[in-house]
Amino acid sequence: MAYNYDALYATTPNALGAPTKVFVDFFDTYDQPNARVLDVGSGQGRDALFIARRGHTVVGVDLSPSGVQDMIDTAATEGLSVEGIVADIASFSPEGVFDIIVIDRTLHMLDKEPRLATLIGLLDCVAIDGWVLIEDERANIAGFKTVIQNHKAQWKIVKETRGTFFLRRI
């Protein structure tokens, strides 16, 4: 990781602030109970904890041990269903399938080839009728679109605005 998020998380509680608004808006209208959600690049859990508070089961993965520990500690204190995994997302292989995968400004930290390869691997873990919610650099969206067009599953682009890219597996 180019920026030392682990050092930031070790010294700054809630370092990245509130959950990302486009994800809050999505979960305000999402009507499936107890979804299984993967938060890629979860850090201290700003999105993972919010999602778990909505009654969903969340697996958060991040390279930062400090961030993952903060997320796990908060989840334990609040009695939330959150699992934390310390791993490099470029080599991480999720177990099982997920109803929703949240990727909040994480993929842009990877070079192009590992970024697209990581997305391909994550798409394989999405349940039918499941979602991939991406917030990333606007310039990366074209590459993401190429990945989904060439993926073995069928996808519907539900939202594409600036750096927001929401997909549904059909």
The answer to whether residue 170 scores a pLDDT higher than 80 is yes
In a domain, 9, yes or no: no
Nearest by Cα to 50 from 92, 42, 152: 42
Residue reference for tokens 């939202």: 159
What percent of the chain has pLDDT above 90? 97
For the entire predicted model, the pTM comes to 0.96
Q: Is the per-residue pLDDT at 78 higher than 50?
A: yes
27: left (phi over 0), alpha (psi -120 to 50) or beta: alpha
95 within some domain: yes
Task: Tell me how far apart the alpha carbons of residues 66 and 99 are, in angstroms, rounded to a whole number.
Answer: 27
pLDDT band per the 50, 70, 90 thresholds, residue 9: very high
Distance CA 26, CA 6 (A): 28
- What pLDDT does residue 68 have? 98
Alpha-carbon distance 126 to 121, whole Å?
A: 10
Look at residue 168 and tell me if it is in a domain.
no
Tally of domains in the chain: 1
Average pLDDT, whole number, for the chain?
A: 96
Tokens of 148: 């989904």
- Give the bridge partners for 84, in sequence order: 60
Number of residues that this document lists for the chain: 170
Give Cα separations from 12 to 17, 66, 104, 161 (angstroms).
Answer: 10, 10, 19, 31
List pLDDT tens digits, range 138-169.
Answer: 999 999 999 999 999 999 999 999 899 999 99
126 located within any domain: yes
- Flag whether 157 is in a domain: yes
Question: Has residue 66 got a pLDDT over 60?
Answer: yes
Q: Is residue 169 situated within a structural domain?
A: no
CATH of the domain at 52: 3.40.50.150
Token pair in block for residue 94: 């999720």
**Range of the structural domain that residue 72 is part of:** 38-102+120-140+149-162
The pLDDT-based confidence of 45 (bands split at 50, 70, 90) is very high
* pLDDT for 1: 46
